[in-house]
Amino acid sequence: MTKKQLKIIFIVQGEGRGHITQAISMKEIIEQNGHQVVSVLVGTSEKREIPDFFVKEMNVEIKKIASPNFVTDIKYKSIRIIPSIVYNLTKIPTFLNDLKIIKKEIKKHNPDLIINFYEPLMGLYNMFYRNRIPVISIAHQFIYQHEDFIFPKSKWFDKFSVKLVTYVAGYKSTKKLAISFYNLKPSSNKKIIVVPPLLRKGVFNTNTGNENFILIYLLNPGYAEEIINWHKENPNVKINCFWDKKEIQEEYIYDDNLVFYKINDKKFIEKLSSCKGFMTTAGFESVCEAVYHNKPVFMVPVQNHFEQYCNSRDAMNINAGLYDTQFDISKFLEYINNNSFQNKKFKDWTDSSQIIFEKILFSYSQNTQ
C-alpha cells in the first residue's frame, strides 16, 4: 500500500464564520499530511462578503456560488421564516444554474475527494448529476442525524426544517462527520462519524489570558443597538465587539471602552483568549473556541434560528455558561464573578481532533499496488 497525494475541492457554506473557520482548520491538516486543496467554492448571499482572512488562508482561486439564506427583520435581529422560504424558492433557478459552476470545477481539477462544509448545493449537485467523486461532509448539524442526540423542546416545523436542510447538504456523501461538543457512541448509520470540534491552529497556539473586558461576537449587526444602550448606562465596563457589517472598514470606535471590529481571524482569537467572558449569538464554532480557553460563554440565539437554539441548549452539556434571549451583560458579569471555569474533558476531546481527521484522510489516500 502506498500513500497517494490527494487533490481536494472544498465547498463551503459562507453563512457566519463557523464553516469557513472549519475549512481553514481542515486545510491546515490536509497540507500537513502532504495533500492539496486545488479549488474552493463558497456559498454566499447578497448581504454577506467572503472575509479577507479566509481568502488569504485558502490561497487558491475562490469561486462564489449562490446559496440558500435567511431573510432577517429590518434590524437584522430575527429570522423571518415565511419570507426566507419564499425568497429561497424564487432563487431556485439561480441555485440550479450555479450547479454548473460546481460541475465545471470538478471537470477542471478532477479531484480525488470533495469536502463539503454544509453547503446544500453540493447535496443538490449529487441529486442532479452523476458524481463519482467521494464526498466527505463536515458540520455540527450532522449530529442531528445521530440517534442519541436529544433535541430541545421545539416546534415540529423547526426540527423538520433543520433535518431537511441537513439531509440535502449531506445527500449521497460517503461520510458525514458530525462535529460535537462531546463524544457519543458509534451511530448505527455507518456514514455518520462523531468527531471533535475542528479548531484552527491559532486557537491551540494562543496562550490563555484574563484581561478586564467582555468580548461579544454579533452574527447580525442589529444587536449592536442593545450593546450601545447598555454601555450608555455602564460606561466604565470595557467591551470589544466583532461584527459583519459591510459599511464599516476595520473598526468603529464608539468611545474608549466600546469598540466594534470587522471580523478578523487573528485579532478575534487574540481577543477571545484574553477576555474575561464571551457573549455570542450561539454559533457552534466560537462557543467551542471560548470553552477551549476556559472562558464563560453567554449565548443569545438569533430569534427563529433553530440551529443556534439547539447549540445554546446542547452547550449546557459541557457547562459552557448561560443562554438568554437578549444580551444581558449585567447578568453575565454577575455570573462571571460567582463561578470558576475549567473544562479539561472538553479540552482533551478537542485536542484529539487532528489525529481523528488524519485517520479519515488516510483512509482515502491509500493506493493498492
Number of domain units in the chain: 2
Averaged confidence pLDDT in the chain:
90
Q: Based on the domain organization, do 49 and 180 belong to the same domain?
A: yes
In a domain, 291, yes or no: yes
Residue 182 sits in the same domain as residue 88:
yes
Does one domain contain both 262 and 147?
A: no
Q: Specify which residues 8 forms β-bridges with.
A: 37, 113
Confidence of residue 356 (pLDDT cuts 50, 70, 90): very high
In a domain, 369, yes or no: no
Q: Confirm whether 368 is domain-assigned.
A: no
Query: Which of 6-15, 187-196, 216-225 has the weakest average pLDDT?
Result: 216-225
* CATH of residue 345: 3.40.50.2000
Q: Judge if 211 and 137 occupy the same domain.
A: no
Nearest Cα to Cα of residue 105 among 149, 61, 44: 61
Give yes or no: residues 174 and 226 share one domain: no
- Which grid cell is 245? 457589517
* Domain coverage including residue 206: 202-349
Report if residue 87 sits inside a domain: yes
Same-domain pairing of 112 and 188: yes
> What percent of the chain is modeled with pLDDT above 70?
93
Pick from 65, 69, 66, 64: nearest CA to 88: 69
Residues 179 and 214 in one domain: no
10 lies in the same domain as 145 = yes
Using CA atoms, how far apart are residues 320 and 293, in angstroms rounded to an integer? 11
Query: In the prediction, which pLDDT does 369 show?
Result: 35
Task: Encode pLDDT of 43-82 as tens digits.
Answer: 987 766 788 889 999 999 999 998 887 776 655 566 777 7
Considering the domain boundaries, does residue 98 fall inside one? yes
Please say whether the beta carbons of 157 and 163 come within 8 A: no
